[in-house]
Amino acid sequence: MFRHVRELQFEAKPEKPDALYAAKFQEILGGQYGEMTVMMQYLWQGFSCRMPGKYKDMIMDIGTEEIAHVEMLTTMLARLLEGAPAETTASAAAANPVLAAVLGGQNPQHAIVAGGGAMPTNSMGVPWNASYIVASGNLLADFRANVTAEAQGRLQTSRLYGMTDDPGVRAMLKFNLARDTWHQQQWLLGIEQLVADGYSDVIETSNAEEEDQRWNKAFYSPNPGSTAGEGRWAQGPTLVGDGQIEFVPDAPPLTDDTGVLPAPDPLLHATYDGSQGPGAPGTPGGGLKKAGQGLVDKVKDALD
């Protein structure tokens, strides 16, 4: 259950409308790292969290706050679009609002599709996509993705801050910058808590016993002359366990497998020199065909 109050979390009052800026502003609402993404990402992680108590509550608290951020941004966008299409200096466009919008850099869909309101799109008009969100069920992996999302979102907000001198817009963006700063820290502290509570190592290490132990401490450098070995990532103790990092310079292949593919299914009509012998149905295309036919035969047999 969610609760809603009429007041915004923070005011969204531009000093004056600016349809051109509104088109740019769409990025931090419906872009890959916009507020819609973190809202859905955190809520989905919270809905699926199998750790009742402080972890689930923390995720849901932040996700619910992000709903408030989406509401703030959509309100700001609608107010920036007040009176749109914006005026342009081209007198020839004055009689054609859509043409004026294009020449002035405004997104015409703000007027045509959304009736002067915000849209669930990025700054180029591309619709928000659910594939942007990360919700794996593994809290360590998810919290790391959340730090990235907040860092990217904050960076884009910071860039937009520099694209306006409107004091009302800047006031709200200052608030958003502050919250993104804190949310990065919240997720990093969440990772610390996972480690302290014994639920995770510093990195994701499931099935650690199945790893090829020869290669779980090595910096593999296939670039001759690489200076990567000078960094901390290529020397000293590992972050997990008591091992030492090994730097492998000018690293060689670990196999003589050249990746030659098998002969193609003749039904796929691939270009082929015959070097792997004749192809036969049963390779990818033929296999699919045979599997489908087998299923049909089974259904027929059952009906008979």
Residues recorded for the chain:
304
pLDDT at 9: 97
**Cβ partners under 8 Å of residue 274, min gap 6:** 263
Shared domain check, 187 and 289: no
Same domain for 168 and 78: yes
Radius of gyration of the chain (CA): 27
224 and 137, same domain (yes or no): no
Angle at 291 between CA 285 and CA 292, to 5 degrees: 90
| 28 and 150 belong to one structural domain | yes
Going by the annotation, the residues of the binding site are: 35, 57, 61, 66, 69, 150, 183, 225
The whole-number pLDDT of residue 92 equals 41
Q: Are residues 58 and 82 in the same domain?
A: yes
Asked if 114 and 55 sit in the same domain, the reply is yes
Contact residues for 210 (Cβ-Cβ < 8 A; gap 6+) = none
Nearest to 21 by CA among 180, 132, 172, 199: 172
Tell me the three state secondary structure of residue 285: helix
Encode 80-112: b = buried (16+ Cβ within 10 Å), e = exposed. Answer: bbeebbbebeeeebeeebebbbebbebbbebbe
Which of 97, 92, 96, 78 minimizes the C-alpha distance to 18? 78
Tell me which residue of 271, 54, 28, 261 sits closest to 128, measured CA to CA: 28
User: Is 2 inside a domain boundary?
Assistant: no
Q: Residues forming the annotated binding site for Mn(2+)?
A: 35, 66, 69, 150, 183
Residues of the chain under the 70 pLDDT cut: 84-105, 283-296
Residues 34 and 60 in one domain: yes
The CA distance from 154 to 148, in Å, is 10
Pair 163, 276 in one domain? no
- 164 and 136 in one domain? yes
User: Containing domain of residue 280, as a range?
Assistant: 266-297
Q: Is position 5 within any domain? A: no
Do 150 and 277 belong together in one domain? no
Phi then psi for residue 248, to 5 deg, are -110, 95
- DSSP state string for 51-78: -TTHHHHHHHHHHHHHHHHHHHHHHHHH
Contact 267, 286 (CB under 8 A): yes
Binding residues for Ca(2+): 57, 61, 225
Position 90 scores a pLDDT of 42
38 falls within a domain? yes
> Can you tell me whether residue 218 is helix, strand or coil?
strand
38 and 177 belong to one structural domain: yes
**Same domain, yes or no: 130 and 166:** yes
In a domain, 114, yes or no: yes
The count of domains in the chain is 3
